[in-house]
Amino acid sequence: MHVRRERLEPRRAVNRLLLARSCAYVGALVAGGYAGYAVSWLGVGAELADQRAWRSLAAAAAGAAITITAVLLERACRVRSDDDTT
């Protein structure tokens, strides 16, 4: 990992990579779904429309945060090549 400068066992690195990749996909789906749901409540004169729109935007932000965190974990599991000096 990048923080401790330790090498992971290959099995653990692959497990974390798969977890990160699946979380990135699911987080993107959640963010997109809830953002679309929030947009569908804009301009609606229902009683709870504003509350539903704000809660949906909060869920979309949480999905985006999951996606960003998963992509960072995926980058941390990247294997350096021999000619990569940075």
Tell me the longest C-alpha to C-alpha distance in the chain: 61
How far is the C-alpha of 15 from the C-alpha of 18, rounded, in Å? 5
Region label for 58, one of left (φ > 0), alpha (ψ between -120 and 50) or beta (otherwise): alpha
pLDDT digits (tens, 9 = 90+) for 61-77: 999 999 999 999 888 87
Average pLDDT over residues 49-59: 94
Chain centroid offset of residue 2 CA: 19
According to the model, what pLDDT value does residue 57 have?
96
pLDDT at site 10? 81
Query: Taking all residues of the chain, what is their mean pLDDT, rounded to a whole number?
Result: 87
